Amino acid sequence: MDSLALLLSRIQFAFTISFHIIFPSFTIGLAAWLTLLETLHVTTGRPLYRQVFEFWLKIFGVAFGLGVVTGIVMAFQFGTNWSTLSRLTGAVQGPLLSYETFTAFYLEASFFGILLFGRSRVPPWSYLFSTGMVALGTMLSAFWIMANNSWMQSPVGYVIHDGVFVPNDWHKILFNPVLWVRFPHMLLASLITGAFCVAATGAWYVLRNEFGPEGRLMLRMGLYLAAVLVPLQLFFGHLTGDYVHDRQPTKFAAIEARWHDEQPASEVLIAIPDSAHETNRFALSVPVLGSVIGSLSLHSKEVGMTDFAREDRPPVAIPFFSFRIMVGCGLMLLFTAWLGAYLARKGRLERSRVLLWLTFLSFPLPFIATLAGWFTAEVGRQPWTVFGVLRTAQAVTPTLTARSALISLIVFSALYALIFVFGSLFIYRLLRAGPAGRLVLPAPDAHTRRPMSVADQLLVMRE
């Protein structure tokens, strides 16, 4: 196997999946937010909830479409770059990815049209139900993806027959304990992303003295939701760390940049890992804290990287730094959400320009944290595709050339950059237009007297 083709294939998959994950992590949280808004509108009858709902529905529609487009490439890569992986694990991974189509995609496709076109055509309870079904569909999509990835992280419920992975216990696969801590962790990351994007947009409007009632609603609700969600995320992050500690000791040692066994173990807060010399440069450590984090003990022995053969170790620098970036972003989000919620309770939120700017500038942090967590999980799993049983070098297409891999990488990078630029500009125009609807819209149909649907408004915006 051409080592350069393998490297390029890994870069391509990392690039496309990292680009794609931005949109589902946003739309999952946004779909839940829309369901909450519609529930409040139906139960209270306040027009403000309806107005904010219609505004965010436009953005959701665009982001959802971008997520679908960027996700199409994923399936093709399994055949072009990773055909050996598909052949050996297809009996397990194929059904899991198919279940995503049969449940999540069908659910979203069935009710997404009602969400865009059906406000004036169905009863309010039916429209609310459709909104909830779209939100459920986005969550089910995340579940099946995480079920598939969690099986690769901690394979269970299979036997190997003639070198092929054959499932023999779907109960173990679907109720893998690893899945049921990683899925909530990913789901909460998406909900927090949605909450902070909403809060940051509200802060932007308040700072600009635009769309006062709508901006204040977004700001307060986004921060209140984040204030509850971020602590839950930290809890499930701890549970995820426990599974890594117990089932993937090489990944845990890489995250900690621990090269040698320690008892009790110190915690390296920051350093520059040096894999060649199996040491850390400029390390800042806290004694005993590593044992507390790893085993909730003051004297436990924690393993180091040198306990494992070099060919079985992941690269240390990426999981080490990405984990700390993820945690750092999480703590900054927690501080912002709690401070904002406190000021809101005191009635001083909109008068604190420091907090408004802090909230506005925080909108990239959930995306950065999600990507950093994904890098930690995936790079830390190396050199395995299916942890402990199938190496990444064995999973790539054997006939793939470096030239083919390079061409596809360049093409995908160019296309994704184009999609990102135009998608971002379109969403920015929607944000600038605001919930009050600065767009110049045609009058309702003179015969039906029905208001324009969100889809029609998007078409007007495009023109």
- Position 157 pLDDT exceeds 80: yes
Mean of per-residue pLDDT scores for the chain: 89
> What are φ and ψ of residue 47, in 5° steps?
-65, -25
Give residue 435's pLDDT.
Answer: 86
Average pLDDT over residues 437-453: 41
Asked if the model's pLDDT at residue 246 lies above 80, the reply is: yes
Per-residue confidence at 456, pLDDT binned at 50, 70, 90? very low
**Angle (CA) 369 177 265, round 5°:** 65
369-394 burial: b if 16+ Cβ within 10 Å, else e: bbbbbbbbbbbbbbebbbbeebebbb
* Measured CA distances, 207 to 7, 55, 215, 425, 456 (Å): 46, 19, 9, 21, 30
What would the mean pLDDT of 214-233 be, rounded to a whole number? Answer: 95
Is residue 362's pLDDT more than 90? yes
Would you state the pLDDT for residue 102? 86
The share of the chain scoring above pLDDT 90, in percent, equals 70
* Per-residue pLDDT tens over the stretch 254-311: 999 999 999 999 999 999 999 989 999 999 999 999 999 988 889 889 999 999 999 9
Give the C-alpha separation, 303 to 326, whole Å.
23
Cα–Cα dist 430/455, whole Å: 13
Residue 116 pLDDT greater than 80, yes or no: yes
Q: How far apart are CA 216 and CA 202, in angstroms?
A: 6
Percent of the chain residues topping a pLDDT of 70: 94
What the block records as the tokens of 262 is: 């320690």
- The predicted model gives 381-385 an average pLDDT of 94
CA dihedral 348, 353, 355, 358 (to 10 degrees): 160
Query: 177 preceded by cis ω (within 30°)?
Result: no
Cα 145 from Cα 183, distance rounded (Å): 9
Query: Is pLDDT above 80 for 438?
Result: no
b/e per residue 100-133 (b: at least 16 CB within 10 A): beebbeebbeebbebbbebbeeeeeeebbbbbbb
Residue 34, pLDDT score? 95
CA distance from start to end of the chain: 50
Residue 1 has pLDDT above 60, yes or no: no
The whole model's pTM is what? Answer: 0.90
Q: How many angstroms from the chain centroid is the CA of residue 190?
A: 5
Q: How far is it, in rounded angstroms, from Cα 430 to Cα 226?
A: 24
- The answer to whether residue 451 scores a pLDDT higher than 90 is no
Is residue 336's pLDDT more than 60?
yes
**Rounded Cα gap, residues 59 and 90, in angstroms:** 36
pLDDT at residue number 460: 41
Q: What is the mean pLDDT of residues 406-424?
A: 89
Give the strand pairing for 164-167 and 158-161.
antiparallel
pLDDT at 436: 66
pLDDT of 420 over the 50 cut: yes
Task: Output Rg (C-alpha) for the chain, integer angstroms.
Answer: 24
Q: Are β-strands 384-386 and 390-391 bridged in parallel, bridged antiparallel, or unpaired?
A: antiparallel
- The pLDDT assigned to 330 comes to 95
- Residue 67: pLDDT over 90: no
pLDDT of residue 339: 95
